[in-house]
Amino acid sequence: MTEPACQLYLISPLDVGGMFPDRLARALDAGPVAAFQFRVKNVDEHEAARLAEPLLRICADREVAFIVNDSIALAKRLGADGVHLGQDDGSVADARARLGKAAQIGVTCHDSRHLAMEAGEAGADYVAFGAFFPSSTKDTKHVAEPELLSWWSRLFELPCVAIGGITAANCAPLVTAGADFLAVSNAVWGGDEAEGVRALNAAIAGAAG
């Protein structure tokens, strides 16, 4: 996850059962996607692993990084490519010790320069800033400005992810500000997933010039 151009980072909806594996395959086949984050709530680890396994195969077949949200234990159990940690989900050091040197470890840093620098010093592989826009996926408690991305990308080589209410219509300022990845959920899963991926990639290309 260190490509120079801005790329898509898909985050799963909370419901990944039923026909969702087909939707994921369709989304990934619609255009370049760097990573997919498996994010479920209120299910035990056994059920989460059952739901994750077909999605993990779909991502592996397409060389898309499979990142587990919150749970270091589930990431290890699945042999996932990495884990994304919120501020209360454990330390980068613990994740690194349990998942190995090759694991991609990301950290939610909200709108905080301090948290991002701490994450970088701890050995994170990327930091995530947001929310940049109101999100239909989760409550927005922290609001970040594009300038934060510009500041980070000027000073640090560590990739940064922009998250929160991002759509094809509003993403351009984040791309031009220096986001390495755009984390999106509803902009893809809220409608036709293939069309959503194509529209986002077109908007990124347009903003990148």
Residues placed in the known binding site: 37-41, 69-70, 89, 108, 135-138, 165
- The CA distances from residue 57 to 53, 163, 170, 199, in Å, are 6, 25, 32, 25
Backbone angles phi, psi at 163, to 5 degrees: -140, 155
Distance separating alpha carbons of residues 109 and 101, to the nearest angstrom: 22
Neighbouring CB atoms inside 10 A of 3's CB total: 11
Residue 6, SS3 per DSSP: coil
Give me Rg for the CA atoms of the chain: 16
> Which residues are known binding-site members for Mg(2+)?
70, 89
Residue 16 · residue 189 · CB < 8 Å: no
